[in-house]
């Protein structure tokens, strides 16, 4: 997502964590020529040895890098296949072998992508549209445009409905995923930046109002709104959901609010992990994975709140990591400034005592006071 259009803070120099160190040369294993609207685009795939990250917490993991992208801003996974939306290249890349990139006129500064039923939906910040593509051949099926779409920033698919968060329009809109028909518009959000669905509930994070709103994912009926400090919310920009838990990344405080989706109460606030702008998060194997966009790092946090891994340093090639997605045994990280995607090959999580160093304290600062929904 380009800073010009998405509201991301201008990029600053990443802090010099103790875990950063000189890297040995990577081993490039293949160069793939990818057809992109008739033109050939070079994508490098490099496999790196398991890195030594002395200042990181927890064990390191093997890495595969895909470079030569153009502003990768968003990720989606469908049936184990990962896709990346390129904000600068106005394209979508299938991260397969060989990788395939499609450039389409319907794509214009894509900021979000979701997938399902053999189709891809891509939100375009610049044109204020949502493009629907065939996942098989990249064919444009239709383009959603006009009101209420305005700088669409996030997407969620549930029960035949496509939910779109409109950052400039202060609204979320529901479309019929099969026909593209507009079903409902819900207004009154202050810069909605993230949406996620869990057990029939749509959770909308609004960074401008420091709120998270719970909606019925089928009808759009508002259930509750969680506000401000009582929930640790401070510029919420990302979300992830587990079976009974919602996590919200707070840009202003570099923290993560952990909220029960059953009771709507704050469970704790995770901090102390050097999460400078937790721009994206996902859940894999029960653990929470969070990117630090300004810290060029990724943290893995256990359900107990214990830090399992804090991955940083040049071997991972994190450079403004703004998107993350998971599939079996793999974590995909999109690096906006690095024009690359880092694939982490993650084994089953061992019982590891979190170490010191770049990640700071292994025990998060927590707040457990109950907070009622409003």
* Model pLDDT for residues 207-224, shown as the tens digit of each residue: 999 999 999 999 999 999
The pLDDT assigned to 75 comes to 97
pLDDT value at 356 more than 90 = no
pLDDT value at 54 more than 50 = no
- pLDDT class for 56, splitting at 50, 70, 90? low
pLDDT value at 323 more than 70 = yes
CA dihedral 222→223→226→231, nearest 10 degrees, is -150
- Average pLDDT, whole number, for the chain? 81
Read off the pTM: 0.81
The pLDDT assigned to 349 comes to 60
Q: What is the 3-state secondary structure (H, E, C) of the chain?
A: CCHHHHCCCCCCCCCCCCCCCCCCCCEEEEEEEEEECCEEEEEEEEEECCCCCCCCECCCCCEEEEECCCCEEEEEEECCEEEEEECCCCEEEECCCCCEEEECCCCCCEEEEEEECCEEEEEECCCCEEEEEECCCCCEEEEECCCCCCCEEEEEEECCEEEEEECCCCEEEEEECCCCCEEEEEECCCCEEEEEEECCEEEEEECCCCEEEEEECCCCCEEEEEEHHHHCCCCEEEEEECCCEEEEEECCCCEEEEEECCCCCEEEEECCCCCCCCCCEEEECCEEEEEECCCCEEEEECCCCCEEEEEECHHHCCCCEEEEEEECCEEEEEECCCCEEEEEECCCCCCCCCCCCCCCCCCCCCCCCCCCCC
Q: List the domains of the chain with CATH numbers.
A: 27-345 (2.130.10.10)
Q: Which stretch of 75-79, 84-88, 288-292 has the lowest confidence by average pLDDT?
A: 75-79
Kindly state the tokens that stand for 282. Answer: 């996902």
- Find the mean pLDDT for residues 182-211: 96
- The predicted-structure confidence for 219-273, as pLDDT tens digits, reads as follows 999 999 999 999 999 999 999 999 899 999 999 999 999 999 999 999 999 998 8
pLDDT value at 115 more than 90 = yes
pLDDT value at 374 more than 50 = no
The pLDDT assigned to 347 comes to 78
The pLDDT assigned to 314 comes to 85
- Find the mean pLDDT for residues 131-139: 95
Closest by Cα among 283, 317, 325, 310 to 76: 325
pLDDT value at 38 more than 80 = no
């Amino acid at each position: 997502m380009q800073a010009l259009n998405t509201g991301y803070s201008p990029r600053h120099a990443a802090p010099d964590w103790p875990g950063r160190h000189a890297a040995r040369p990577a081993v490039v294993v293949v160069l793939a020529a990818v057809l992109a609207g008739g033109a050939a685009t070079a994508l490098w795939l490099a496999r790196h040895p398991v890195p030594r990250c002395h200042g990181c917490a927890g064990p390191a993991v093997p890495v595969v890098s895909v470079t030569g992208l153009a502003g990768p801003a968003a990720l989606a996974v469908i049936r184990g296949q990962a896709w990346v939306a390129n904000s600068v290249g106005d394209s979508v890349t299938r991260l397969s072998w060989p990788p395939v990139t499609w450039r389409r006129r319907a794509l214009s500064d894509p900021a979000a992508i979701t997938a399902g039923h053999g189709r891809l939906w891509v939100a375009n910040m610049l044109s204020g549209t949502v493009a629907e593509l065939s996942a098989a051949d990249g064919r444009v099926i239709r383009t959603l445009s006009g009101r209420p779409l305005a700088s669409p920033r996030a997407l969620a698919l549930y029960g035949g409905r496509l939910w779109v968060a409109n950052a400039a329009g202060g609204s979320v809109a529901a479309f019929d995923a099969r026909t593209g028909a507009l079903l409902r518009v819900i207004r009154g959000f202050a810069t909605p930046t993230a949406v996620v669905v869990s057990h029939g509930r749509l959770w909308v994070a609004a960074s401008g109002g420091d709120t998270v709103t719970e909606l019925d994912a089928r009808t759009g009926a508002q259930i509750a709104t969680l506000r401000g400090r009582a929930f640790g919310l401070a510029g919420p920009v990302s979300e992830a959901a587990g079976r009974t838990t919602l996590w919200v990344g707070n840009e202003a405080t570099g923290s993560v609010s952990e909220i029960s989706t059953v009771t709507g109460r704050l469970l704790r606030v995770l901090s102390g992990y050097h999460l400078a702008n937790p721009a994206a998060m996902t859940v894999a194997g029960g653990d929470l994975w969070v990117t630090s966009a300004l810290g060029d790092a990724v943290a893995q946090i256990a359900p107990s709140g214990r830090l399992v891994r804090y991955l940083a340093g040049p071997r991972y090639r994190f450079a403004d990591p703004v998107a993350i997605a998971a599939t079996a045994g793999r974590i995909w990280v999109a690096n906006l400034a690095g024009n690359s995607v880092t694939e982490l090959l993650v084994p089953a999580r061992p019982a590891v005592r979190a170490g010191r160093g770049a990640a700071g304290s292994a025990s998060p600062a927590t707040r457990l006071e109950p907070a009622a929904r409003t």
